[in-house]
Amino acid sequence: MHPILSTLIKRIGLGIVSLFFVSLIIFSSIQLLPGDFVEAQLGQARTEETVAAFRKELGLDKPYHIRYVNWVTAAVQGDLGSTFSGRNASYANQPQQSTARTVTSLLKPRLYNTFFLAAMTAIIAVPLSLLLGITAALYRNTFYDRAVNASALTTISMPEFFVAYILIIFLASIYQFFPSLSNVTSSTPFLERVYLSILPALTLTLVTVAHMMRMTRAAIINLLSSPYIEMAELKGLSRSKVIIKHALPNAWAPISNIIAFNLAYLIVGVVVVEVVFVYPGVGQLMVDSVIKRDIPVVQGCALVFALTYILLNLLADVISIITNPRLLYPK
């Protein structure tokens, strides 16, 4: 078997193992959350009987480990369970009339929105930061390099919501180019969706470019003292050729890692931006569900986030492997 294939299989296996551990952590840490959905939902008028019946309906009467096994078994089959909050407490005694929605149906449109925003941001931010990083390395210690670094550091130093409000002031309020509310729905047509998502995408671009750009620059400059770079210079190659042909191909591994890290952030860490622009993403859903103690939804979101992280890191690993001839073409 080609060594790359076996490495890949190993990585996927490791990914599955990590996902298993993450599911354990998610499940047990959610048990530690204070408060209880049943008592909150039934309010002051609850009796012991109604509480017990409601618990039974939600499956909360079973021991932890059985609930975990049931949850994981269903999740593997793509079923993340039903939400708590869709149920009406007054129907607690007639479970067959329950109106609960499944977590998957709740998560799906939100997840689509989140991926849409992340993809839109990535399409702007990744090429931009690569370009800035490479040119900053090429013209290092010049005015250009310092200007790019300074502005990148400025944007990364400001909190996301602040960047978002500044953009709203200038691009939505003073000059009314874009809407300040990004309330997309599943029926919004594609182009309008893009238009509505521009400001949140721009905010996220400003926040992530600095990190990716500086790491690209550092990864390239790190290689510039290698003997093969000196050799390339002594072949009379121009500076841009030296960097693009000789430094960049050896810098893909660290660069792809940092891009994967930022893409993961775009999917799992953007709740503040979603709130500012009233964008219906997974982040908001998760925060709402935590407040409502809607445990299946919280668990579902956390699991999806973990999966995203693992998949993106797997992708970064694959890129490091295929850009390294030592691994791609063994002796």
Q: Are 246 and 260 in contact (CB under 8 A)?
A: no
User: Does residue 20 belong to the site contacting other proteins (CB under 8 A)?
Assistant: no
For residues 219 and 134, the answer to whether their CB atoms sit within 8 Å is no
Among 230, 240, 278, 291, binds other proteins (CB under 8 A): 230
Count helices and strands in the chain by DSSP H and E runs: 15, 0
Q: How far is CA 223 from the centre of its chain?
A: 30
Closest CA to 178 of 193, 190, 163: 193
Query: Which of residues 174 and 234 has its CB atom nearest to other proteins in the complex?
Result: 234
Kindly state whether residue 241 participates in binding other proteins, applying the rule CB under 8 A: yes
C-beta closer to other proteins: residue 114 or 250: 250
30 is a contact residue toward other proteins (CB under 8 A):
no
CB of 66 vs other proteins, minimal distance in Å: 43
In the complex, minimum distance from the CB of residue 199 to other proteins, in angstroms, rounded to a whole number:
40
Map residue 167 onto helix, strand or coil. helix
65 binds other proteins (CB under 8 A): no
Of residues 34, 43, 63, 227, which one binds other proteins by CB under 8 A? 227
Distance separating alpha carbons of residues 31 and 36, to the nearest angstrom: 10
Q: Is 223 in contact with 138 (CB distance < 8 Å)?
A: no
Interface residue with other proteins among 4, 237, 275, 314 (CB under 8 A) is: 237
Q: Does 145 bind other proteins (CB under 8 A)?
A: no
Rg (CA), the chain: 25
Query: What are the backbone dihedrals phi and psi of residue 102, each rounded to the nearest 5 degrees, phi first?
Result: -80, 150
By CB under 8 A, residue 226 contacts other proteins: yes
Decide whether 51 or 322 has the Cβ nearer to other proteins: 322
How far apart, in whole angstroms, are the C-alpha atoms of residue 239 and residue 49?
79
Q: Quote the least distance from Cβ 102 to other proteins, whole Å.
A: 49
Assess 235 for contact with other proteins (CB under 8 A): yes
Residue 35 in contact with other proteins, rule: CB under 8 A: no
102 SS3 class: strand
Give the residue with the Cβ less far from other proteins, 166 or 321. 321
Q: Which long-range contacts (CB under 8 A, 24 or more apart) does 291-296 make?
A: 292/37, 292/84, 292/85, 293/33, 293/35, 293/36, 293/37, 293/40, 293/84, 294/37, 294/83, 294/84, 294/85, 295/30, 295/37, 295/84, 296/80, 296/81, 296/82, 296/83, 296/84, 296/103
Closer Cβ to other proteins, 65 or 331, answer by number: 331
Please say which residue, 146 or 235, places its beta carbon nearer to other proteins.
235
Residue 311 has which token pair? 């998949």
* Count of positions on this chain that bind other proteins (CB under 8 A): 24
8 Å CB contact between 135 and 123: no
Minimum Å gap between C-beta 312 and other proteins is 24
Of these, 50, 119, 233, 320, which contacts other proteins (CB under 8 A)? 233
Beta carbon nearer to other proteins, 215 or 251: 251
Nearer to other proteins, 43 or 330 (CB): 330
- Is 3 among the residues that bind other proteins (CB under 8 A)? no
Binding mask 244-263 for other proteins (x = CB under 8 A): -xx--xx-------------
CB of 237 to other proteins, least distance (A): 6
Residues that bind other proteins (CB under 8 A): 225-228, 230-238, 241, 245-246, 249-250, 323-326, 329, 331
